Amino acid sequence: MTVEKNKINRALYPLPVHIAMAASNMTDFGSFSPDIQQYVAHYAAPAAENDILAMMKGVRLYYDHPYQPDHTRRAPLWQDGTTCIYSASKPCKNPERVILLVPSLVNGPEILDLIEDRSLLEWMNNNNIEAYLLDWGELTKAHDDISVDHLVTITLPKALQFIANKTGRAVDILGYCMGGTLCVAASLYAKQFISKMILLAAPWDFHTGNPLLSDRVRTWAPVVLPVIDQKKLLPARWTQSLFASLDPKEALGKFKRFSQMDQSSTEAKIFVAVEDWINNGRDLPAPVAQHCIRHWFSANAPAKGTWVVNDSKINVSNIETPILIIASKNDKLVPYASAIEIKKSLPDNNAHILQVSCGHIGMIAGAKAVHDVWLPIRDWLLKK
């Protein structure tokens, strides 16, 4: 009934990039070039040598931490290529609604099923909403023609149809990060199976709101696109390096804080589980990566109304599904303005915005996640 539990061999990817970014903040730059100093000047105050040492202590504590998140799952209920659907660990006792949780493509689904008290999957299932989790799987091992078109027009509609047939109900769908962007397009191909939609930190306008990630991708694209074509994939370590470069002080700060935590605490366990998820990145097939880079980050096609999937424009003005948009001005990956821009193109009174103060990952794993994000989602879903 269950698959075996795999022990995680931890590593921080890419470690040299994280160390270099942290070192670039040091008070004594030594031989670092003026270009690096100028690059990090707009971030927080430079770090002292003791800060670097504390960071490295935190990295070692993370590597050696005894906690092993239990992501043992039941056998998949449904599978299409490498993509699967899993249920929560126990049947929902009194389900009032049914929901499918859809993660991003660049990491596994574990962020939505993290640990005991930070599992959105289990929390929903324990709060009268029968919950299912989509796992995209290793898409580079899927069939040769895997593409955004396939994910939007075939994979997601088939997944929704399966759950609708299984439960006898229309399905609510929650898309996290780029999973939400894909859900928007898929809703036009599977509207008969969808009841409500939640877009959780999902980008739509890739050129607004001081979009540091988008700017970096566009700078990166001319060099990286030909290599992706040659390799037939976008390696996970490349995207991890990209994310690490966005804030030179991030790894320094978080691992320093981790080094000072009670290592047996729930806080430390959540930190470890989140880092395991971050470092368990997934390669993207070349067609998927190229589509996202060219059509989303470069052309900003979703916001401009020029996004084409399966030879048809994604016209969100045709979406009749009620939508809850959740966005935060503290989100460094998906700016608040990027996430809420879609509301302008949706039918009047069809979308609601929930502004929260959590960061991108904090919406799922943060101390305020349950009260500030999960409860409002549940209340909105159950509202008649």
Query: DSSP assignment of 295-316, as one string?
Result: IIIIT-HHHHT--EETTEE--G
* Distance, CA of 45 to CA of 47 (rounded, Å): 7
Residue 270's identity, in one-letter code, is I
Domain residue spans of the chain: 1-75+249-281, 81-208+284-382
CA distance 16 to 317: 46
The two most distant CA atoms of the chain are separated, in Å, by: 66
* Token code pair at residue 35: 């270009």
Please give the pLDDT value at position 71: 65
> What tokens does 90 get?
């126990």
Task: Report the alpha-carbon distance of residue 23 to residue 182 in Å, rounded.
Answer: 37
Residue 211 CA, chain-centre distance (Å), reads: 16
- Three-state DSSP state, 2: strand
Say how far apart CA 336 and CA 125 lie, in whole Å. Answer: 28
Closest CA to 108 of 84, 74, 76: 84
Model's pTM, two decimal places? 0.89
| Separate counts of helices (H) and strands (E) for the chain | 17, 12
Specify the pLDDT at position 299.
Answer: 97
Q: What is the pLDDT of residue 142?
A: 85
Q: What pLDDT shows up at residue 80?
A: 92
Distance CA 327, CA 336 (A): 5
277 neighbors 111 (Cβ within 8 angstroms): yes
Q: Which helix (H) or strand (E) holds 364?
A: helix 362-365
The per-residue pLDDT for 24 is 57
CA atoms within 13 A on the CB side of 104: 26
- Cα gap 211→129, rounded to integer Å: 34
Query: Taking the domain 81-208+284-382, which CATH number applies?
Result: 3.40.50.1820
Identify whether the C-beta of residue 356 lies closer than 8 Å to the C-beta of residue 329. Answer: no
User: Which residue reads 């504590």 in tokens?
Assistant: 61
Q: Are the CB atoms for 172 and 97 separated by under 8 Å?
A: yes
Residues of the chain with pLDDT under 70: 1-9, 11-47, 71-73, 144
Cβ-Cβ contacts under 8 Å for 311 (sequence gap 6 or more): none
Q: Write phi, then psi, for 185 (nearest 5 degrees).
A: -65, -40
- Give the bridge partners for 175, in sequence order: 102, 199
Structure tokens at 366: 């943060």
Q: How far is CA 335 from the centre of its chain?
A: 14
Q: What angle do CA 286, 242, 248 make, to 5 degrees?
A: 175
Instruction: Extract the tokens encoding 34.
Output: 């003026």
